[in-house]
Every structure is written in C-alpha cells, then in structure tokens.
Amino acid sequence: MEDTILVVNCGSSSLKVALFDINLRQLTSALAERIGKSDAFARITGHSRDIPLQSGAGHRDALQALVSAFRELSLLTSPPVAIGHRVVHGGETFREAALIDDSVRQAIEDCAGLAPLHNPVNLTGIDATTELFPDVPQVAVFDTAFHQTLPRHAYLYALPYRFYRDWGVRRYGFHGTSHNFMATETARLLGKAPGETSIISAHLGNGCSITAIRDGISVDTSMGLTPLEGLVMGTRSGDIDPGLFEFLETKDISAESLHRILNNESGLLGLSEKTNDMRTLSELADQGHEPSIVAIEVFCFRLARYISAMMASLRELDALVFTGGIGENSAMVRAKTLSHLHLTGFAIAPSLNRQHGNKTDGRINREDSRFKVMVIPTNEERVIAREALETSGTVSHS
Ligand code: AMP
C-alpha cells in the first residue's frame, strides 16, 4: 500500500483533485467541470472515459465520485496520509498553511465575505473529505497567505483609513502558492538559499498576477482586495479608473452588471471581442485580426508597466520568472513585453525564448542581459501537497 497525499482545489464551478506520493511525485489528477449544472462531468487525466455525475451534481458529489473512481482504478488503496485544500482567502488571520480544526474552519467561514464565490465552496470540499476520511489530517493552504508579508505601504489603499480598520479593505494578493513555488524553484535552479533570492514572479494564466519577492518573501503584488486588480487577464479587466463606476451609471449599467462585466466580459475577451484564450488570439493576430492584435498589445504593455513597478520593492533582482499557461508557452508575449523595457536592461535570446527556456535552468536571457529571465512551469498542486505534508506533521522522505 502506497502512502498518498490528496490535494483538493474547489473552484466556483469546478473541482481539481490530485494525488501525490509521499516524495511529492504526482500519481494522478482529475477534474470535474460545470458543477451544479445539468451537464456536469468529471474526468481522470489519462483516462478517456468520463465519470458520470448526476445532473446538478455539487462539489461534494463530484468529490465522492472521483474518490470512488480512484479506488476502483486502484489509484487509492488506503486513506491518504494527509489532505491539502486550496483555500482562496485567509484574510489577515492566516500567514501560513493551517491544520484544519473547528476554529480554523470557523476562521475560513469568517473570511467568506472577502471571497464569497470561493471560501464557501472550499469549505464544502473540506466537509466532504472530512466525511470520507474522518481520521486523516487536513490542511488549508491559502492563496493569500504568502502575501501577508507585504509592507503597509504596499497593502494599504489611499482610502479613508476606517475602511481598513473596520472592514479589512486592503490589498491581499492571490496566486500565493504559485508565487511561493516560483521563489523556491528559482532559488533551487540558481543554487541559492530561498531566503537570499529576490525575483519578480509573473503568473500568467487565465488569471494573471505579478509579485516582487525580496529575500524569499512577498513584498508587492498586483492583485488586491480581490483577484480583479492589476494585470489584464483572460476575462478580467485588471486596473481601471474607479471614475468609470459613476460614468457607467449614466449609461444605466448597474453596479451588479459592472461587476460581471469587469470579471467575465473584459480583459483579452473584452478587447478582442472573440476569445480569452491566448493561443487562439495569437493565431488570429497572425492572420491580421486587428482586435486580437490590440488585445495582445494592451496585455503586454500592462505587464511591462507592472514589471517596472515591482522594481520599486527590490534591492536586487536574481531573475524575472514567467509561469502559467501564457507565461510558460507564449514566446511572443514574453518577447513583446520585454521589448517595452529597454531602459531596465532585460535582453532575451530569441532561440532560448522560442524553446521556452534552456533545459537546465529555464533561462531565456542573453549572456549580456543585466538580469536573468527564466521560464518555470508552476505546480500549485505540488506546493499544496508539500504544505499538507509539512503542516500535518507527516514526514516527507524527499
Ligand atoms: P492557465 O490558466 O495557467 O491554464 O492558462 C491558460 C492560458 O494559457 C490561456 O490563455 C491559454 O490560451 C494559454 N496557453 C496555453 N498554452 C498556450 C500556448 N501554447 N501558447 C499561448 N498561450 C497558451
């Protein structure tokens, strides 16, 4: 019987589950989508057959179905030794991962006002695995925790101070597990101690954020109170002028509609009027589709501005690191972005960029570049598995 760690990531309408061995090698992963809808389905990576889910199946049903399928396929022959849950918002309560007990569960519930679409489903996942595996230690790994080291000047908005004091309105930052992974992975590849490594980490997926990490800790990041602030994303606008709210009222667009527009109908999708998918956009741009060209230009320019902005928080820079679906795979986005930054001295080697980084350390910069530039695949599930092992007190053999 193999010791395993189960990783559970409940999104608002999806569920990702992964299984690792105790040396943090990934054994399998699975995905359920369209949760709560009539056409909900689940699939285990590498298995062509869908796992049937009842119409309207919720996160709990999907988790039970996936765990049963893991058992049937002998991927899970005994209870896991630890379970790690991605939890989106830990507010100011959680600076690191936490072993889940009643008080931690309550604190996650208390943070739900800050992430109403996510924390409640994260709790559903926690309750479902508690039912399935009552004796297994469970650990909450927070998207926000890595950014709790932000200094006050980086996390405060210039709003009436009582908004922060009374309601916790501040910048929290997200994608913390990914940025944390980038910090330790870059240090490993450079042969440095994580606590002595300073990087700018650009996580560019459907959601995008960038973080300045000084001596291993997060000191500035682009997402704020919610994951809407900062970079241009697949369907999210990133930064906008708050004056837009009043202007759009004169156009009869309500706050509720605007919330939906900014989150679901903006970003690459809004600008291109076609798609939020960077791969498709690149193909359209190559064919001369002007709105796709514009969407990519805005995306890259905003990113370049933020790379410069992150430098305000660093004393030195060991590497600029790209990750996420776009960051890892789009040589075009990396090249276009860095073409805006002549003054800062990033020089990339086109051949290394095209192959998404050299084999040994993911480097794409020229030898004469002032700063290293690297491409490093992220693995948030693996970080969650590692944190679950460490926080639950289960010893890793790696
Ligand atoms: P993620 O959320 O990390 O899965 O990233 C999703 C984004 O990565 C989407 O915009 C995809 O189009 C983009 N992506 C994935 N593969 C590629 C690729 N080969 N070239 C460009 N973009 C890609």
The CA distance from 193 to 187, in Å, is 6
| Residue range 198-226, pLDDT digits in tens | 999 999 998 999 999 999 999 999 999 99
Q: Could you give the C-alpha distances from 52 to 10, 28, 36, 76, in angstroms and in order?
A: 18, 19, 14, 19
54-77: average pLDDT: 92
Ligand 1 centroid vs 296 CA: distance in angstroms?
13
What integer is the mean pLDDT of 361-382?
95
C-alpha 329 to ligand 1 mean position (Å) = 7
pLDDT at 88: 94
Rounded-to-integer distance, Cα 93 and Cα 113, Å: 14
Cβ–ligand 1 contact at 333 (below 6 Å)? no
Q: How confident is the model at residue 362 (pLDDT cuts 50, 70, 90)?
A: very high
- Residue 54: band (very low, low, confident or very high) from pLDDT cuts 50, 70, 90: confident
pLDDT of 398 strictly over 60: no
Phi, psi of 185 (to 5 degrees): -70, -40
Residue 143: both structure tokens together: 């998207």
152 falls in which pLDDT band (50, 70, 90)? very high
CB 205 near ligand 1, within 6 Å: yes
CA atoms of 79 and 2, how far apart (whole Å): 10
108 lines ligand 1 (CB under 6 A): no
pLDDT at 395: 57
**Alpha-helical segments (H) within 318-379:** 324-329, 331-339, 350-354
Segment 2-8 mean pLDDT: 94
- The reported pLDDT for the residue numbered 260 is 92
Ligand 1 pocket test: pick from 14, 178, 235, 278 the residue with the most ligand atoms within 8 Å of its Cβ.
278
Looking at every residue in the chain, the average pLDDT score rounds to 94
pLDDT tens per residue across span 233-271 = 999 999 999 999 999 989 999 988 998 999 999 999 999
**What number does the ligand 1 atom closest to the CA of 234 have?**
10
Residue 54: left (phi > 0), alpha (psi -120 to 50), or beta?
Answer: beta
Angle at 35 (CA atoms; ends 33, 41), nearest 5 degrees: 50
Q: Does residue 327's CB lie within 6 angstroms of at least one atom of ligand 1?
A: no
Measured distance CA(383)–CA(127) in Å, rounded? 22
Cβ–ligand 1 contact at 279 (below 6 Å):
yes
Tens of pLDDT, residues 379-396: 899 999 999 999 998 754
pLDDT above 70 for 143: yes
The DSSP-derived string for 21-34 is ETTS-EEEEEEEES
Q: What integer is the mean pLDDT of 348-364?
A: 96
Residue 282 pLDDT exceeds 90 = yes
119-136: per-residue pLDDT in tens? 999 999 999 999 999 999
Contacts 24+ apart (CB under 8 A), 270-276: 270/235, 270/237, 271/232, 271/295, 271/298, 276/206, 276/234, 276/235
From 208, 272, 279, 282, the mutation candidate for ligand 1 (largest count of ligand atoms within 8 A of CB) is: 279
Annotation says 318 is catalytic:
no
Of 159, 16, 163, 12, the residue nearest 89 (C-alpha): 12
Q: Which of 3, 61, 101, 143 is catalytic?
A: 143
Atom of ligand 1 at shortest distance to CA of 324? 3
pLDDT confidence of residue 397? 43
Q: Ligand 1 centre from 94 Cα, in Å?
A: 31
Predicted TM-score of the model (pTM): 0.92
Q: Is the C-beta atom of 11 inside 6 A of ligand 1?
A: no
206 lines ligand 1 (CB under 6 A): yes
Checking if the pLDDT of 308 tops 50, the result is yes
Mean pLDDT of 173-188: 96
Out of 83-87, 335-339, 340-344, pick the least confident.
Answer: 340-344
